[in-house]
Structure 1
């Protein structure tokens, strides 16, 4: 079926707020994407809202309300052909070379760097092609840990599975568990593992880190969570609770201005900051779990996570 796109200019501040926008209350909720038009120009961004059906006046007004700077500007509204717009939006991505890893799509047939571990990750139904600063930063962080030894790895919010695949490549003897709240992402990871001949990745659909399939395998000595700042903060006690003493914890999906609150949440659970990688507006953190396994001071109720959430 064809889809529809509503486009409006916005600022970087509005784009960052949109990343954390609440449900717009529409029967047909759009997928929202923001893009920087001019590098390092905080005033030159735009918002694309993709609808599965033609947006009515209320839907357009809801999108317009997200970008006050565009007040008075008529949105561009267009009908798209019967194609996967997510794939279309990322079709121009160039191959990515990070450390020993080389990530490309099927449309990119240039020869990879000699000796690189090649992953084919198609743009499409799940986040994590490697091109966003958070994913490429995590790849670089993991590559820098290659000389370490890990035996139990978990990738929380795996998306396309790319970071779990990198961990499997770096530590072939480790058990690797990839989880995501979205069943589609888990399906995509399974498909990508087959395409890239990545063995031994266990998959779980789970909200957070409290599922039996996760806790039964704890503790983990490498924990990766590339999600968003709010969930990182709210999940800190449950993530820390499944970490082995002195475990390495890699966190991403947070903006630089959110780093102190994320660090604070994990420090309260016994972790200490070891490294920080700032890439544009985004930050990747590496922390070390405490010398003793963390025990939450109160039972963790997933329904109560909203009360811990970071205001972003």
Structure 2
């Protein structure tokens, strides 16, 4: 199978209301049969929602205009996406990431792994959150600091794990600690399992599909001494009560996916749920929080 995708088209619009955005997403699927539809809260703290649809052929712009008007959305912006070799593109763009003792790399950089580091291989073809994002680097650095403090949890969870970089980092450090990597997306869970296998960790962590903490395996291993959650502000705030219910007293939560101006809101939500701010770090536009359960 070729890694080069054929030309395609995107149609993007913005709305002010979540309910309307989700309704527009459903209407697009029902009336225009796109290859895919995405509904996302924008990460700039504006409260706006983006709806995107993806088409193999140029979409009917009259139909798009009618749908935008029906849901009080801005006019769709339609763009053609040229054929792209995405694996080659990712390999060019992604450089190894160093975070304390951890070294995240792709197979094309295997000859650059320093001696004495904990190496985490993420294949470019599996770039579902590659570990090269500043939020993941921030989480690894926060993890490094807790390790220096002598952290020794009974169990670990990585919520919204993506490629499971953070869960794998924990599995590399602790051989006998139960570690669960969960994600709401089935594809992400498959990628996490594949990454665990190529890092010789297939038997050391459990990869499951779950929304938040809604899975019996997470209930069975709770309370966790360490919980990673590198997602976004909205889901993090929503998860605060459940995070508290599943975190051991004196345990830690490392949170990221938080834009710098959003950090105070997340800290406030977790303070109300029973966590104290332990450390805070900003890398570029992103903040990582280390919180301790009271």
Q: Normalized against structure 1, the TM-score is what? A: 0.73
Q: Which residue of 2 aligns with 1:216?
A: 220
Distance (whole Å) between structure 2 residues aligned to residue 126 and residue 180 of structure 1: 15
How far has the Cα of 1:138 moved from its partner?
Answer: 0.6
Rounded to whole Å, the distance in 2 between the matches of 1:54 and 1:280 is 37
What residue in structure 2 maps to residue 200 of structure 1?
204
What residue in structure 2 maps to residue 153 of structure 1? 156
Structure 1 residues 222, 269: closer, same or farther in 2, change over 3 A?
A: same
Which residue number corresponds to residue 244 of structure 1? 248
| Aligned equivalent of 2:90 | 90
Question: Which secondary structure does the structure 2 equivalent of 1:144 belong to?
Answer: helix
Distance 2:288 2:98 in 1: 18
Q: Identify which of 181, 186, 191 aligns with 1:188.
A: 191
Is 1:257 equivalent to 2:258 in the alignment? Answer: no
Structure 2: which 5+ runs fail to align? 41-49
CA contact (8 A) 2:229 2:256 kept: yes
- Give the Cα–Cα distance (whole angstroms) in 1 for the partners of residues 135 and 208 of structure 2: 22
Shift of 1:151: 1.7
1:271-308 deviation line (CA, Å, top 9, x unaligned)? 11011111111111000001xxxxxxxxxxxxxxxxxx
Runs of 4+ aligned structure 1 residues displaced above 6 Å come to 59-63
Please say if residues 106 and 122 of structure 1, whose CA atoms lie closer than 8 Å, have aligned partners that are also in contact.
Answer: yes
Give the whole-Å Cα distance in 1 for the aligned partners of 2:9 and 2:96.
27
Q: Cα deviation per residue 1:85-121 (whole Å; 9 max; x = unaligned)?
A: 4x35422111112111111112224331121111210
Q: Structure 1 253/271 Cα, relative in aligned 2: closer, same or farther at 3 Å? A: same
Residue 178 of structure 1 contacts residue 204 of structure 1 at CA under 8 Å; is this kept in 2? yes
Task: Find the residue that maps to 1:261 and give its secondary structure.
Answer: helix
For 2:173, the equivalent position in structure 1 comes to: 170
1:27-106 to 2 correspondence within 5 Å?
27=29, 28=34, 29-30=36-37, 51-58=54-61, 77-80=80-83, 85=86, 87-92=87-92, 93-106=94-107
CA distance in 2, matches of 1:161, 1:78: 29
2:116 maps to 1:112: no
Q: Secondary structure at the match of 1:260?
A: helix
Quick one: distance in 1 between partners of 2:121 and 2:271? 37
On the 8 A contact 1:3/1:51 being kept in 2, the answer is no
Query: Residue 101 and residue 60 in structure 1: after superposition, are their counterparts in 2 closer, same or farther (change >3 A)?
Result: farther
3-state secondary structure, aligned to 2:221: coil
Number of aligned residue pairs: give it: 261
Conserved in 2, the CA contact under 8 Å of 1:2 and 1:52? Answer: no
Contact kept in structure 1, 2:267 and 2:277, CA below 8 Å? yes
The answer for the alignment partner of 1:286 in structure 2 is 290
1:148 Cα deviation after fit? 1.6
Deviation string for 1:124-169 (max 9, x for gaps)? 4553312111111111111122232112100001100110010112
Secondary structure in 1 matching 2:28: coil
| 1:31 to 1:54, Cα distance in 2 relative to 1, 3 A | farther
RMSD value over aligned CA atoms? 3.3
TM-score when normalising by structure 2: 0.77
What's the secondary structure of 2:107's corresponding residue? coil
Using the TM superposition, give the Cα deviation of residue 26 of structure 1 relative to its aligned residue in structure 2, in angstroms.
Answer: 2.4
Q: Structure 1: 5+ residue runs without aligned partners? A: 9-13, 34-46, 291-312
